[in-house]
Amino acid sequence: MAERGKKSDYQVPAVDKALDIIETLADLPDGIAMSELTKTLGRSMGEIYRTMIALERRGFVAKDDATDRYYLSLRLFELAHRHPPVSRLVRIAQPILEELALTTKQSCHLGVAEGDRLLILAGEMSPLPMSYAVKVGATFPLLETSSGVVILAFAPPAQIAARLAGLAPDFARTIEARCAVVRECGQEVIESQVVYGVTNLSLPVRDHRGRVVAALTIPYLEQLTANMDRAQATAHVAAAAERLSQALGHRQQPAPDPKDASK
């Protein structure tokens, strides 16, 4: 962003506009309306519109139909996986998932929200002969998953309201209630809404700014050979989610000193 104001002998206006848009959206996790974007960049609607449509067509930008706001898709993330430093960051998660699966004897996966879908970024199978697992790369309707509900629960209120507004009233009330429980408990432990006999143990993963960017989930399957109960497994998911959050730069805020409250 600091380089944006520098002049060079060779300028390509269309590329400059596209990069301006991408860099701006990178700082706006909740997206931005087209009219707001033009004001932010100091450009006319005509200058921005065609570039935005091109970025959307190529999959770099997506539009949330519920709010009419544009946000970055995971296209850059997918391309960045080819870049060694980012590949290293992705590899940080895999040992954590492997250890979690080995310790709990349950499969686990990491999911992120992309619009109204949940994308499974990484996962690890249970070491047991029989298990239930979610395929890496699979996508699901966001709010049909515990991971999606956990991510939504910590989204800004306006974004939550926009999501709920597009749902059937009964389903919206159910999701709203689940989000409230997640915010209070910091996790969701609930029977799967799509698979009988599976209980989802899902916790948030935070980045360096404290934003919830993903959810770590065990689809807990009770078996005689899996001798760790749900409460124990949930505690291990919580520890793994915290390790992954720390790897992303998140640091928990220290608890307030009671002495300070008395001053």
The per-residue pLDDT for range 50-105, each reduced to its tens digit, is: 898 999 999 889 888 888 899 888 787 677 656 554 455 567 889 999 999 999 99
Whether 143 and 167 have beta carbons less than 8 Å apart is answered as: yes
Q: How confident is the model at residue 10 (pLDDT cuts 50, 70, 90)?
A: low
The per-residue pLDDT for range 117-165, each reduced to its tens digit, is: 898 888 999 999 888 899 988 889 999 999 999 999 999 999 899 999 9
SS3 (DSSP) at 116: coil
Residue 2 has pLDDT above 70, yes or no: no
Residue 263 has pLDDT above 60, yes or no: no
Residues 47, 33: Cα–Cα separation, whole Å:
15
Both tokens of 256, joined, read 């307030």
Whether 219 and 106 have beta carbons less than 8 Å apart is answered as: yes
The per-residue pLDDT for range 199-220, each reduced to its tens digit, is: 999 999 998 888 898 899 999 9
Whether pTM > 0.85 for this model: the answer is no
Both tokens of 132, joined, read 């239930």
Nearest Cα neighbor of 154 from 190, 113, 128, 182 is 182
Residue 11 has pLDDT above 90, yes or no: no
Both tokens of 7, joined, read 């002049």
Q: Name all domains of the chain by residue range, CATH numbers in brackets.
A: 12-73 (1.10.10.10), 84-247 (3.30.450.40)
Highest mean pLDDT among 32-36, 105-109, 220-224, 257-261: 105-109
DSSP string, 138-176: -EEEGGGSHHHHHHHHTS-HHHHHHHHHTS-HHHHHHHH
